[in-house]
């Protein structure tokens, strides 16, 4: 059964694989190009908790600015963080720079899953994916899409996260010795386009004949997830301090939420003291809302054209070039609100 699943899925992938800038054509030999592992690694880091559609323009931008791992290793962290702005989960960008410098110092990427795990920011999934896709190693790749496909395929009814041990064992059973990278990407494509979390398209699934979840009549129920915890509500204030067609921007602390990013000064809604301004004739412009993984934030945006900037490092940024500042999505929303009021 397991050999039939893998061969059937690879045959389907050969005909239906998504064409993506960071992918090798199905069944093709691995590119003889030193930039190939770099492109695989970069795409996998960007795709963590992020959709393919969102990643495409960022991947194109990064590879245009920094075509090789050596180019990225030589870049300043500020430039990388600014280019990353809008992609979210900013710790990935900080680890991206650390990893690039480590790889450049080593003279290239480790070729094994174990060696890749030693690099900054690479967990079990990412290391396995790079080993399989970039180097053709036999590695078992399990992301959320693969997890869903395997849970349904074998009708694994134990709730997550407890089910993950069996899911991995079953994924290992069906991963072929050859073309492990193609197989991993086939599973990802199947999960993202057919075996979707809601309304799976079972009639189009190439391995539906093997699916125990479908035979049981309720594939959409799997995998069984624990109930979601309600995200707490937070409130805060962002300060737009304007002078001579410039706005005062700060760089957030390297650790914590949105660490290392340019931003507007705020009142410490992240439970940190940042020396935000208090005195001034503040004009209330409105609020912006943003959903983080762990909390919902409502941020009031106020403006003053005469207030002194808060203590600490910062810079006067031309308002006409605010889009070039690399503000994270939250503060980009605040900037757009201010500009819409002018």
Within a domain: 47: yes
Q: What is the rounded average pLDDT for all residues in the chain?
A: 89
One domain, residues 65 and 111: yes
Look up residue 341 and give its two tokens: 């009021």
Give the residue from 114, 180, 112 showing the smallest Cα distance to 146: 180
Within a domain: 123: yes
One domain, residues 278 and 154: no
One domain, residues 206 and 263: no
DSSP E strands, the chain? 233-243, 246-251, 262-263, 283-291, 296-304, 315-318
One domain, residues 241 and 202: no
Within a domain: 227: no
As a whole-number percent, the residues of the chain with pLDDT over 90 amount to 59
Within a domain: 165: yes
Half-sphere exposure of 76 (CA within 13 A, CB side): 5
Task: Look at residue 275 in the predicted model and tell me its pLDDT.
Answer: 45
Instruction: Please say if the pLDDT value at position 68 is more than 80.
Output: yes
Residue finishing a domain among 221, 246, 276: 221
Contacts for 25 with CB less than 8 Å, ≥ 6 apart: 17
The answer to whether 22 and 59 are in contact (CB under 8 A) is yes
pLDDT category, 143, cuts 50, 70, 90?
A: very high
One domain, residues 167 and 242: no
Higher-confidence residue of 107 and 229: namely: 107
Task: Look at residue 278 in the predicted model and tell me its pLDDT.
Answer: 57
As a whole-number percent, the residues of the chain with pLDDT over 70 amount to 94
pLDDT category, 141, cuts 50, 70, 90?
A: very high
Residue finishing a domain among 221, 254, 270: 221
One domain, residues 154 and 27: yes
In this prediction, residues 134-162 reach a mean pLDDT of 94
Domain extent at residue 208: 2-221
Q: What is the dihedral of CA 332, 333, 338, 339, to 10 degrees?
A: 70
One domain, residues 156 and 248: no
| Active site (catalytic) residues | 44
Instruction: Please say if the pLDDT value at position 272 is more than 60.
Output: no
Task: Tell the residue number behind the tokens 């709730």, with chain if given.
Answer: 159
In this prediction, residues 88-96 reach a mean pLDDT of 85
One domain, residues 119 and 159: yes
Task: Look at residue 280 in the predicted model and tell me its pLDDT.
Answer: 67
Within a domain: 35: yes
Task: Look at residue 129 in the predicted model and tell me its pLDDT.
Answer: 95
pLDDT category, 63, cuts 50, 70, 90?
A: very high
One domain, residues 210 and 239: no
CA distance 278 to 52: 42
Within a domain: 290: yes
Residue finishing a domain among 201, 221, 241: 221
Instruction: Please say if the pLDDT value at position 128 is more than 70.
Output: yes
Within a domain: 84: yes
One domain, residues 256 and 210: no
| Structural domain total, the chain | 2
Look up residue 65 and give its two tokens: 């600015």
One domain, residues 217 and 238: no
Instruction: Please say if the pLDDT value at position 331 is more than 60.
Output: yes
One domain, residues 269 and 302: yes
Within a domain: 22: yes
Of 85-89, 320-324, 334-338, minimum mean pLDDT range = 85-89
CA distance 115 to 131: 9
Alpha helices of 17-108 — where are they, by DSSP H? 36-46, 52-65, 69-74, 77-84, 91-106
For residue 273, give the CATH number of its domain. 3.90.79.10
Instruction: Give φ, ψ of 149 to 5 degrees.
Output: -60, -45
DSSP per position, 100-148: HHHHHHHTS--SSHHHHHTSTT--HHHHHHHHHHHH--------HHHHH
User: pTM for the whole thing?
Assistant: 0.78
For residue 38, give the CATH number of its domain. 1.10.340.30
Task: Look at residue 53 in the predicted model and tell me its pLDDT.
Answer: 93
Task: Look at residue 254 in the predicted model and tell me its pLDDT.
Answer: 67
Task: Look at residue 166 in the predicted model and tell me its pLDDT.
Answer: 96
């Amino acid at each position: 059964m397991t050999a039939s699943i893998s061969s059937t899925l690879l045959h389907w992938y050969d005909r239906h694989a998504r064409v993506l800038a960071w992918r090798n054509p199905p069944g093709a030999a691995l590119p003889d190009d030193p930039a190939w592992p770099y492109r695989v690694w970069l795409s996998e880091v960007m795709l963590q908790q992020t959709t393919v559609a969102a990643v495409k323009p960022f991947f194109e931008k990064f590879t245009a600015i920094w075509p090789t791992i050596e180019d990225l290793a030589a870049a300043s962290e500020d430039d990388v963080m600014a280019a990353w702005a809008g992609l979210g989960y900013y710790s990935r960008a900080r680890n991206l720079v650390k990893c690039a410098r480590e790889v450049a110092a080593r003279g290239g990427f480790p070729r094994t899953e174990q060696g890749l795990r030693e690099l900054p920011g690479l967990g079990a999934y990412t290391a396995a994916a790079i080993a399989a896709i970039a180097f053709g190693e036999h590695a078992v790749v399990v992301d959320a899409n693969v997890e869903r496909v395997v849970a349904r395929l074998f009708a694994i009814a134990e709730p997550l996260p407890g089910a993950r041990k069996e899911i991995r064992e079953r994924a290992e059973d069906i991963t072929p010795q050859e073309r492990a990278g193609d197989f991993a990407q086939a599973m990802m494509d199947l999960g993202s386009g057919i075996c979707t979390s809601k309304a799976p398209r079972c009639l189009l699934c190439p391995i539906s004949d093997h699916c125990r979840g479908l035979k049981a009549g309720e594939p959409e129920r799997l995998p069984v997830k624990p109930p979601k915890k309600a995200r707490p509500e937070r409130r805060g204030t962002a300060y737009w301090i304007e002078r001579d067609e410039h706005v005062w921007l700060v760089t957030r602390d390297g650790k914590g939420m949105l660490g290392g990013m340019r931003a507007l000064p705020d009142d410490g809604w992240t439970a940190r003291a940042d020396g935000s301004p208090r005195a001034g004739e503040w004009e209330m412009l409105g609020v912006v809302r943003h959903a983080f993984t762990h909390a919902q934030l409502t941020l009031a945006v106020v403006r003053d054209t005469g207030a002194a900037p808060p203590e600490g490092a910062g810079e006067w940024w031309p308002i006409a070039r605010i889009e070039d500042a690399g503000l994270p999505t939250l503060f980009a929303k605040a900037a757009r609100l201010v500009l819409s009021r002018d």
